[in-house]
Amino acid sequence: MHLYVKLLGLESLKYQSTYFLSQQSEMLVGLQNYGSISAPKFK
């Protein structure tokens, strides 16, 4: 039972980290898009 709980915790940790990473990449893409929209004269 204890091993099951440990595995469950590891899975949720993995899920949280992948979710966090996807959020970060979406934010980066959004920033890049915002930069290309707001500053086209610097290209």
Residue 7 has a pLDDT of 84
Residue 4 has a pLDDT of 84
Residue 8 has a pLDDT of 87
Q: How far apart are CA 7 and CA 34, in angstroms?
A: 40
pLDDT digits (tens, 9 = 90+) for 2-40: 888 888 888 998 988 898 889 998 988 888 888 776 665
DSSP track, 1-43: -HHHHHHHHHHHHHHHHHHHHHHHHHHHHHHHHHHHHH-GGG-
* pTM of the predicted model as reported, rounded to 2 decimal places: 0.49
Q: Is the dihedral of CA 35, 38, 36, 42 positive or negative?
A: negative
Residue 1 has a pLDDT of 62
